[in-house]
């Protein structure tokens, strides 16, 4: 007989909350005698019968512990609602109908459980696949004896348990079942799903029926235990705390068994053990062990083991969850903050949404230029704008698209600066900026004239070649100004990556468009003047060939559709005017050179340098230093000395540097002087002392010094000027500031009687030039004033301009048949061969002129070309070498101030050479009076300007014999 020992709220705990009407569960929780109320309301509801209510009994409410354990493990009470006639009749002590007697042996249908055993007091849904078994279960439910024996299936190695078990019948099935199982109450059958509630432990004693398997079972009772035993108590406490621990850690079980947890402390020991095992995730064998063990302490220990494992699993689960959570929460936090930031900005009106703002910016740019953007470009822009909207703002692809759009929309599509085709204006500008350079200026004027007639300017490649500092870059700037085009310069010296010219593909990180696209963006017009500097120093290229890329860029045939790798849309560069500069034309790649129009700038002679220095360099430097013209006097003599002794190279860059150096020094002196003047006027007011300014610009005050003494000192300074290290100063009254310095004038005295305010003037003359620029660093190229026998002056061309060089020969050893030629001076192969030819030709001429001489046959000759550290090559020294050898052989020096150049053939013919202008300038610089050029170079010489040709006796020769006559003539 089962009694309701305790109900109250716990009653609700064991109800499957989902299977009872809400009204019942609610009433159970609120009422003091909820069972009666619940049953009443349940009976009045239309809920299908029979329905089982179960309530746990607490041991405390039972009269004794053994009693309660005997009533269904001392834990449960059943109430069959269908059998309660009158709810009022149910009282706490009412005796409820009994289904089974614990001490009886009885027969049940055996229900195989594939996964876990059913523990008393727990629900379990089982899918029954065997129709016969299902029918038997339904029948027993219908007969209001809804019970079966639930037995766990043993694992068969290598077999699919669930699939096979329902195919087994009779003994075979019996063998697969564990002997110990649970008396299961069938609460409902839905389709093939049967809901079971476990009651007591059973053991199969014998088989009664094969199909469905029906077995005779014995009830199993737990072994008696002492509920006050310390060990069992301690074990149970540990189980409880471990269960709580698991539930706290693992949300998986927490939700599942939440309702039990409050009352876990009220469970008796066997129930506690069952509860722990039932909620654990242990495997079926371990669970079966718990089910089979009738020793309560042992069962508790087994459960404790399982629960401890659960704790460990929960810990692992916790760490995994924590790690993942941290990762996700970091990202989420950033995302949230970003979103908040955006929202705040939007709210404050500081910024609209990123994408919207960007799109608006691009649209604005497009609208400014809408009609001029080519259709194919517009299409790409639209596509990219759509793409931008779809991309996540934080993605890398978004940035790529944004940058791409930025470039595409920033280019000056179809925006041309208004070109100025006014020839006379252009001429004025060019003359304003540069002296001379008539070839270049003429070419530019031609270009402008053509542009004026055609109405449009055509893209052309012009190459300015010449030594450094001759103004190639600066004339480029003036041309751009004259044409009213934007100027852009980029140097390709050492450039070896094609990507610099054609851009990187957009797929690369940090990809950029090429130089030309960058140029267009920075100048903002589609027809700029682009100066490509140092094209002769273009690198060899490790990734592609830069020369070919330059070709595509410069060739007017190709550059109308120039394709930059980054932009990926053709750009029209045909309106761009390209100018290149180079020092050595020969180093420019042939296909490029072929398309260029070369204008060479040879370098300047002294006169030209003087004009440039006076009219351009000095003026600009003076202005840059903030010095007024009346404050300086830079004499012609000083300038000439500067050019001849300090700056003898072809260009004027060094000259410019020296002038800058001089003006910096002048500026310092002027500042010192004015400070000295101020103190001087103060001193004159206060102490009436005699003061003067020393030649370094420092004020000197000497008490009781007579004015006469001061004057004397000043005169001494002045007369000492040529030897003194000091710089000359002139102090004048304003009205005489432009007067030429006169020795009779007192130059340092301050005239106190008149206006104390004076203007200082610094003088730079030939005599004090060293004070400004130091001792001459450049000595004359002329080693010999009068060339000795065996020495002849030749003319050479270098990348730095023209220069003179000597060919020296001397006889080392004499003796019959000892004739040989020894060469030194870092000569290249061509020059060595040229020396051999010279020897042969000289031998022939000597034989002709002095038939009795055996000089070349019997002398070991040493030929040297100073300076030995500079490598030299080329055939143009041929005629100089012959002359030198003949001079040595005949012991006759050549004519004074003679220089020559020309390649010689074995038969004595003179072939043309290059660099006529440079060589002429160099010869003039070295004080040469007579020059010998090959006849074929006459045209080149005639084209030179008259000031270059002035004062030179030039001879054009076809045969070496003519040189012989010139060099060794008696007059
Ligand atoms: N004919 C000239 N008239 C006035 N100034 C000149 C003239 N030639 C050169 N200069 C000045 O000389 C300086 C050097 O010129 P620039 O830099 O153009 O030389 P470059 O030929 O380009 O040299 P590099 O080959 O080294 O690049 C500039 O300040 C320029 O103004």
**Residue 64 pLDDT more than 80?**
no
Q: Quick one: pLDDT at residue 683?
A: 66
**Residue 27 pLDDT more than 60?**
no
Question: CA 365 to CA 370: how far, in whole Å?
Answer: 8
CA-583 nearest atom, ligand 1: 25
**Residue 412 pLDDT more than 80?**
yes
Question: CA 144 to CA 789: how far, in whole Å?
Answer: 146
CATH (domain of 868): 3.30.230.10
Cis status, amide bond into 867, omega within 30 of 0: yes
**Residue 566 pLDDT more than 60?**
yes
CB 593 within 8 A of CB 585: yes
**Residue 260 pLDDT more than 70?**
no
Is position 439 within any domain?
Answer: yes
**Could you tell me the pLDDT band of residue 104, with boundaries at 50, 70 and 90?**
low
* 194-251 pLDDT, tens digit each: 888 888 888 888 888 887 888 888 888 888 888 788 888 888 888 888 888 877 776 6
For residue 237, give Cα distances in angstroms to 33, 311, 796.
31, 16, 111
- Closest to 506 (Cα-Cα) out of 466, 549, 565, 447: 565
Question: CA 73 to CA 53: how far, in whole Å?
Answer: 16
Identify the residue whose C-alpha is closest to ligand 1 atom 13: 653
Lowest-pLDDT choice from 63-72, 303-312, 783-792, 905-914? 63-72
CB atoms within 10 A of CB 133: 22
CA-615 nearest atom, ligand 1: 4
**Could you tell me the pLDDT band of residue 438, with boundaries at 50, 70 and 90?**
confident
Question: What rounded mean pLDDT belongs to the chain?
Answer: 75
**Residue 167 pLDDT more than 80?**
no
**Residue 613 pLDDT more than 80?**
yes
Output the ligand 1 site: residues, CB below 6 A.
434-437, 468-474, 581, 583, 612, 616, 651-653, 656
Q: Quick one: pLDDT at residue 880?
A: 92
The conformational region for residue 164 under phi > 0 = left, psi -120 to 50 = alpha, else beta, is: alpha
CB atoms within 10 A of CB 746: 16
Strand, coil or helix: what is 526? coil
CA-617 nearest atom, ligand 1: 5
Is position 48 within any domain?
Answer: yes
**Residue 463 pLDDT more than 50?**
yes
Q: Quick one: pLDDT at residue 708?
A: 42
- Percent of the chain residues topping a pLDDT of 90: 2
**Cβ neighbours of residue 643 under 8 Å, at least 6 residues apart?**
606, 609, 610, 613, 655
Residue 764 is classified by DSSP as E
Winning range, highest mean pLDDT, from 134-138, 336-340, 684-688, 882-886: 882-886
Helix (H) or strand (E) holding 40: helix 34-44
Is position 694 within any domain?
Answer: yes
Examine the fold and report which residue of 169, 186, 220 is the final residue of a domain before the chain moves on: 220
Is position 786 within any domain?
Answer: no
Is position 783 within any domain?
Answer: no
Q: Do 849 and 961 lie in a common domain?
A: yes
* 286-326 pLDDT, tens digit each: 888 888 888 888 888 888 888 888 888 888 888 888 888 88
**Could you tell me the pLDDT band of residue 349, with boundaries at 50, 70 and 90?**
low
Q: Do 377 and 321 lie in a common domain?
A: no
Q: Quick one: pLDDT at residue 50?
A: 34
Domain holding 295, by residue range, is: 222-351
Q: Do 678 and 752 lie in a common domain?
A: yes
Q: Quick one: pLDDT at residue 822?
A: 87
Alpha helices, H only, 188-295: 230-249, 251-261, 269-279, 284-292
Residue 909 is classified by DSSP as B
Identify the residue whose C-alpha is closest to ligand 1 atom 5: 434
Q: Do 814 and 847 lie in a common domain?
A: yes
For residue 469, give Cα distances in angstroms to 321, 583, 870.
73, 10, 21
Q: Quick one: pLDDT at residue 72?
A: 38
Identify the residue whose C-alpha is closest to ligand 1 atom 31: 474
Q: Quick one: pLDDT at residue 618?
A: 87
CB 262 within 8 A of CB 328: no
CB 111 within 8 A of CB 71: no
CA-437 nearest atom, ligand 1: 1
Question: CA 454 to CA 658: how far, in whole Å?
Answer: 45
Number of domains in the chain: 7
For residue 28, give Cα distances in angstroms to 18, 156, 362.
14, 46, 70
CATH (domain of 134): 2.30.130.40
**Could you tell me the pLDDT band of residue 709, with boundaries at 50, 70 and 90?**
very low
Annotated binding-site positions: 466-473
Which of 439, 651, 801, 918 maximizes ligand 1 atoms within 8 Å of its Cβ, making it the mutation to test the pocket?
651
Examine the fold and report which residue of 170, 189, 220 is the final residue of a domain before the chain moves on: 220
Q: Cα 460 to the chain's mean position, in Å?
A: 35
**Residue 46 pLDDT more than 60?**
no
Q: Do 158 and 145 lie in a common domain?
A: yes
CB atoms within 10 A of CB 517: 24
Of 399 and 37, the structure prediction assigns the larger pLDDT to: 399
Q: Do 804 and 943 lie in a common domain?
A: yes
CATH (domain of 251): 1.20.58.1480
Phi, psi of 184 (to 5 degrees): -110, 130
Question: CA 516 to CA 44: how far, in whole Å?
Answer: 92
Q: Quick one: pLDDT at residue 351?
A: 59
Catalytic residue, candidates 78, 502, 575, 919: 919
Of 735 and 625, the structure prediction assigns the larger pLDDT to: 625
**Could you tell me the pLDDT band of residue 884, with boundaries at 50, 70 and 90?**
very high
**Residue 964 pLDDT more than 60?**
yes
Is position 417 within any domain?
Answer: no
Q: Quick one: pLDDT at residue 736?
A: 35
Catalytic residue, candidates 417, 574, 876, 887: 876
CA-474 nearest atom, ligand 1: 18
Q: Quick one: pLDDT at residue 537?
A: 86
* 817-859 pLDDT, tens digit each: 778 888 888 888 888 899 999 999 888 888 888 888 888 888 8
Which of 431, 465, 491, 652 maximizes ligand 1 atoms within 8 Å of its Cβ, making it the mutation to test the pocket?
652
Q: Do 726 and 821 lie in a common domain?
A: no
Mean pLDDT of 152-158: 75
Distance between Cα 675 and ligand 1 center (Å): 37
Q: Do 625 and 588 lie in a common domain?
A: no
Distance between Cα 617 and ligand 1 center (Å): 10
> Is this prediction's ipTM beyond 0.90?
yes
Lowest-pLDDT choice from 453-462, 483-492, 906-915? 453-462
Distance between Cα 445 and ligand 1 center (Å): 20
Q: Do 901 and 949 lie in a common domain?
A: yes
- Percent of the chain residues topping a pLDDT of 70: 75
DSSP for 851-899? Answer: TT--HHHHEEEEEE-S-TTS-B--STTHHHHHHHHHHHHHT-PPPTTEE
Q: Quick one: pLDDT at residue 776?
A: 76
- For the question of residue 876 being annotated catalytic, the response is yes
**Could you tell me the pLDDT band of residue 685, with boundaries at 50, 70 and 90?**
low
Is position 461 within any domain?
Answer: yes
CB 604 within 8 A of CB 650: yes
Which of 437, 462, 474 maximizes ligand 1 atoms within 8 Å of its Cβ, making it the mutation to test the pocket?
474
CB 876 within 8 A of CB 836: no
Of 396 and 4, the structure prediction assigns the larger pLDDT to: 396
Q: Do 833 and 964 lie in a common domain?
A: yes
The dihedral through the CA atoms of 939, 940, 946, 950 has a sign that is negative
Is position 944 within any domain?
Answer: yes
Q: Do 453 and 529 lie in a common domain?
A: yes
**Could you tell me the pLDDT band of residue 273, with boundaries at 50, 70 and 90?**
confident
Distance between Cα 213 and ligand 1 center (Å): 113
Beta-bridged to residue 691, according to DSSP, are 701
Q: Quick one: pLDDT at residue 922?
A: 83
Q: Do 188 and 236 lie in a common domain?
A: no
* 173-190 pLDDT, tens digit each: 888 888 899 988 888 888
Residue 455 is classified by DSSP as S
Kindly give the interhelix angle for 396-410 and 515-523, rounded to the nearest 10 degrees. 60
Beta-bridged to residue 791, according to DSSP, are 808
Winning range, highest mean pLDDT, from 38-42, 53-57, 352-356, 547-551: 547-551
- For the question of residue 919 being annotated catalytic, the response is yes
Examine the fold and report which residue of 185, 205, 220 is the final residue of a domain before the chain moves on: 220
Q: Cα 427 to the chain's mean position, in Å?
A: 46
């Amino acid at each position: 007989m089962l009694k309701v020992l305790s109900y109250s709220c716990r009653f609700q705990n064991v109800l499957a909350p989902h299977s009872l009407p809400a009204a019942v569960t609610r009433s159970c929780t609120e009422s003091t005698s909820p069972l009666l109320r619940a049953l009443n309301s349940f009976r009045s509801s239309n809920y299908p019968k029979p329905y089982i209510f179960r309530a746990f009994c607490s041991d405390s409410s039972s009269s004794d512990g053994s009693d309660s354990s005997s009533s269904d493990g001392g834990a449960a009470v059943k109430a069959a609602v269908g059998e309660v006639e009158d709810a009022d009749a149910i009282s706490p002590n009412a005796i409820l109908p009994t289904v089974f007697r614990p001490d009886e042996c009885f027969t049940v249908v055996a229900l195989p459980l594939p996964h876990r055993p059913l523990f008393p007091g727990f629900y379990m849904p089982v899918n029954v696949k065997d129709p016969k078994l299902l029918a038997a279960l339904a029948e027993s439910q219908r007969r209001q004896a809804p019970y079966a024996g639930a037995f766990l299936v043993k694992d068969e190695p290598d077999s699919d348990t669930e699939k096979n078990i329902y195919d087994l019948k009779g003994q075979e099935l019996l063998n697969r079942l564990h002997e110990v199982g649970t008396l299961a109450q069938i609460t409902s059958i839905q389709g093939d799903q049967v809901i079971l509630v476990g009651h007591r432990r059973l053991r199969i004693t014998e088989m009664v029926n094969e199909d469905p398997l029906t077995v005779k079972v014995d009830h199993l009772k737990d072994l008696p235990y002492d509920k006050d035993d310390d060990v069992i108590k301690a074990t149970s406490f540990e189980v409880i705390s471990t269960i709580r621990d698991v539930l706290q850690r693992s949300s998986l079980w927490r939700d599942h068994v939440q309702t039990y947890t409050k009352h876990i402390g009220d469970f008796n020991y066997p129930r506690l053990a069952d509860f722990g095992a039932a909620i654990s995730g242990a495997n079926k064998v371990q669970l079966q062990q718990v089910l089979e063990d009738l020793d309560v302490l042992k069962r508790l220990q087994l459960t404790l083991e399982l629960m401890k494992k659960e704790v460990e699993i929960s810990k692992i689960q916790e760490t995994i969850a924590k790690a993942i959570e941290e990762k996700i929460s970091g990202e989420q936090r950033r995302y949230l903050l970003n979103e908040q930031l955006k929202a705040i900005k939007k709210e404050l009106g500081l910024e609209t949404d990123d994408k919207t703002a960007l799109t608006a910016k691009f649209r604005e740019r497009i609208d400014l230029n809408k009609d001029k953007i080519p259709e194919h470009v517009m299409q790409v822009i639209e596509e990219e704008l759509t793409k931008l909207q779809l991309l996540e703002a934080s993605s890398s692809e978004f940035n790529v698209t944004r940058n791409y759009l930025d470039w595409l929309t920033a280019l000056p599509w179809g925006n041309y600066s208004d070109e100025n085709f006014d020839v006379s204006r252009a001429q004025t500008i060019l003359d304003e900026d540069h002296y001379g350079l008539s070839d270049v200026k003429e070419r530019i004027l031609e270009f402008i004239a053509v542009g004026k007639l055609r109405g449009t300017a055509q893209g052309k490649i012009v190459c300015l070649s010449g030594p450094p500092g001759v103004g190639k870059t600066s004339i480029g700037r003036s041309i751009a100004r004259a044409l009213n085009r934007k100027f852009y310069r980029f140097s390709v010296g050492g450039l070896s990556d094609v990507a610099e010219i054609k851009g990187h593909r957009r797929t690369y990180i940090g990809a950029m468009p090429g130089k030309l696209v960058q140029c267009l963006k920075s100048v903002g017009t589609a027809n700029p003047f682009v100066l490509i500097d140092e094209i002769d120093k273009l690198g060899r290229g490790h990734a592609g060939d830069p020369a070919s890329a330059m070709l595509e860029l410069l060739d007017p045939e190709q550059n109308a559709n120039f394709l930059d790798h980054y932009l990926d849309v053709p750009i029209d560069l045909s309106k761009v005017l390209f100018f290149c500069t180079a020092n050595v034309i020969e180093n420019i790649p042939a296909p490029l050179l072929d398309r260029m129009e070369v204008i060479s700038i040879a370098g300047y002679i002294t006169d030209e340098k003087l004009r440039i220095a006076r009219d351009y360099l000095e003026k600009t430097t003076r202005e840059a230093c903030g010095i007024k013209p009346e404050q300086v006097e830079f004499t012609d003599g000083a300038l000439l000395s500067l050019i001849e002794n300090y700056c003898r190279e072809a260009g004027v860059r060094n000259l410019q540097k020296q002038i800058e150096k001089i003006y910096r020094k002048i500026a310092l002196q002027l500042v010192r002087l004015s400070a000295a003047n101020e103190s001087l006027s103060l001193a004159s007011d206060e102490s009436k002392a005699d003061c003067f300014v020393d030649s370094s610009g420092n004020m000197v005050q000497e008490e009781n010094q007579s004015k006469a003494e001061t004057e004397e000192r000043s005169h001494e300074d002045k007369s000492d000027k040529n030897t003194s290290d000091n710089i000359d100063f002139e102090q004048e009254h304003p009205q005489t500031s432009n007067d030429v310095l006169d020795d009779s004038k007192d130059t340092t005295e301050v005239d106190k009687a008149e206006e104390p305010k004076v203007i200082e003037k610094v003088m730079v003359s030939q005599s004090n030039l060293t004070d400004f620029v130091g001792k001459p660093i450049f000595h004359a190229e002329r080693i010999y004033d009068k060339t000795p026998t065996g020495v002849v002056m030749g003319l050479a061309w270098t990348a730095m301009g023209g220069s003179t060089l000597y060919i020296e020969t001397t006889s080392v050893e004499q003796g019959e048949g000892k004739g040989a030629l020894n060469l030194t001076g870092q000569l290249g192969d061509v020059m060595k061969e040229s020396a051999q030819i010279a020897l042969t030709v000289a031998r022939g001429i000597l034989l002709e002129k002095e038939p009795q001489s055996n000089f070349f046959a019997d002398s070991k000759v040493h030929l040297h070309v100073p300076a030995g550290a500079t490598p030299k090559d080329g055939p143009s020294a041929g005629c100089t070498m012959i002359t030198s050898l003949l001079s040595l052989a005949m012991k006759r020096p050549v004519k004074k101030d003679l220089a020559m150049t020309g390649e010689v053939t074995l038969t004595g013919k003179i072939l043309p050479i290059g660099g006529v202008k440079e060589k002429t300038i160099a010869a003039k610089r070295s004080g040469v009076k007579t020059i010998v050029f090959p006849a074929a170079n006459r045209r080149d010489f005639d084209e030179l300007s008259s000031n270059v040709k002035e004062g030179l006796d030039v001879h054009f020769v076809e045969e070496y014999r003519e040189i012989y006559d010139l060099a060794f003539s008696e007059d």
